[in-house]
Structure formats: structure tokens, C-alpha cells
Amino acid sequence: MIIKNIEKIQERIANACKKVRRNPSEVKLLLATKMVSSEDIKIALNYGQTLIGENKIQEVIQKYEDLKEVPHTSHFIGHLQTNKVKYAIKYGISCIQSVDNWDLVLELNKRLSKEEKTMDILIQVNTSFEESKFGLVPKSTLEFVKKVSDFKTIKIKGLMTIGALSNDNEKVRDCFKRLKNLQQEIKNLNLNIDIEELSMGMSGDLETAIEEGSTIIRIGSAIFGSRY
């Protein structure tokens, strides 16, 4: 099923790209692997997938040994507590997509400096204004990016958002448009950072996200089945 489902997602990516004349190679597929077993993740990796994302550091640590033997890239996509930063660095996370507060930035810089390492990050933005969601409010994002761009240890690569939880497709689209607009505003600041990545779109809204410029879609349930 996993392989069939990946093929279906690739087809959905291709169709969405065709509609807006984008090249499918511009859209990376990230497998959202929360609550997915190492065995199932390996099926996808052995089939040629290369990018996974976990939500909980506990799961990153649990699966680390199992997955070490299969080449892949691992992002962190969940809310990261400051006291877990050290594990993200230690257990092979190459990009934290969910940076949204200053304490996290300071802790990252402290740990990375000590180990003479760098970390890619995306800034998470709460584009739906839903209170349950993490992320910076859009109007605070520019100032935050400006401050973070001063750190040599932390490489800002783009922005991440979760679309509104809504059956109204236009509401979801507005979220993605907001993220794209913010990216342009940040580019206009000429900060000497490379902010090309837009991580947006999940199983239910990947087409809308791709139409609005997504470069990373994060897919869980449509590949691995419902978690509930």
C-alpha cells in the first residue's frame, strides 16, 4: 500500500504542477512519519524516497538506529521544546522547520556554536490565526527573520505553515498566499539569506499549496494511512 500511495501522491503533484505550469522537480515530497514504524519508513526509503519529517524528538531518537543504514534526510516538523534542541542536533536532524520563538534560536545558537556546527531552519508562521497552532503571527515574522539572520550558526532556508483546518478551500488558499507574500517581503529586505523554501501543503491540501508556490509538501496519512 505504501508504494502505491506514494505513486498516487506523485501523480497528484504532477497534475497540480501541470495546472500552474510548474516543474514537478520544484516540489519536494517530505514523508511525515509521526507514529509510523521504522519498517514502514524503510519501505518508502528503499523505494527511493529521501526526505522524512518527525514531530516528536522521542520518535527521532527511537528510530535513529533503525534508519541509519538507509540514506535519507531528516527534518523536524513539530513543536520543539528548548530542552530538546540538543537531541535534534545529536540525532541527525538537518533542518528544523518549526522555529517560531527566540528562546529556541538562542539555545540553537548556543549548542551549535559549542559544537562548531550549523543548522538549517524554516520559520513557522501561523497563517490561519488559529489559536491552537504554533508559529509566529505574520506581522512579527519580518522582524524575527531579521534578528535570526545575524546568527552564523543558523541558516534560514524558508518558511513553513500549516493551512487552516477548513473545508473552505479558499480559506486554506489564503494561508498559503500569506506565506508566499511574506517570503516576498523578506526577499525585499535584501538580508543576504536564501529563503527559497516554502513548506506548505499536506494530504488534504497539497494541490492548493503547489498552486500557491509550495516547494516542500509534508504528507502523512495519504501515504501511511490514518493514524487514528
Ligand X SMILES: *Cc1c(COP(=O)(O)O)cnc(C)c1O
H-run or E-run covering 7? helix 2-19
For residue 188, the minimal CB distance to ligand X (Å) is: 27
Per CB under 6 A, does 57 bind ligand X?
Answer: no
Binding ligand X (rule: CB under 6 A), the pick from 49, 55, 126, 183 is 55
For residue 92, the minimal CB distance to ligand X (Å) is: 19
Binding marks (x or -) toward ligand X, 127..166, rule CB under 6 A? -----------------------------------x----
177: CB partners within 8 A, 6+ apart: 212
Per CB under 6 A, does 195 bind ligand X?
Answer: no
Binding ligand X (rule: CB under 6 A), the pick from 22, 28, 34, 111 is 34
41: CB partners within 8 A, 6+ apart: 31, 33, 52, 63, 66, 67
For residue 5, the minimal CB distance to ligand X (Å) is: 11
DSSP helix/strand/coil, 66: helix
User: CA 51 → CA 5, 136, 181, distances in Å?
Assistant: 16, 25, 26
**Residue 150 cell numbers, joined:** 545575524
Residues 58-87 that bind ligand X (CB under 6 A): 77-78
For residue 221, the minimal CB distance to ligand X (Å) is: 3
H-run or E-run covering 54? strand 51-54
Is residue 94 within 8 A of residue 120, CB to CB? The reply is yes
Per CB under 6 A, does 124 bind ligand X?
Answer: no
For residue 205, the minimal CB distance to ligand X (Å) is: 8
The Cα–Cα gap between 200 and 125 comes to 10
Return the residue nearest ligand X (CB atom). Answer: 220
Q: Where along the sequence are the contacts to ligand X (CB under 6 A)?
A: 32, 34, 55, 77-78, 162, 202-204, 218-222
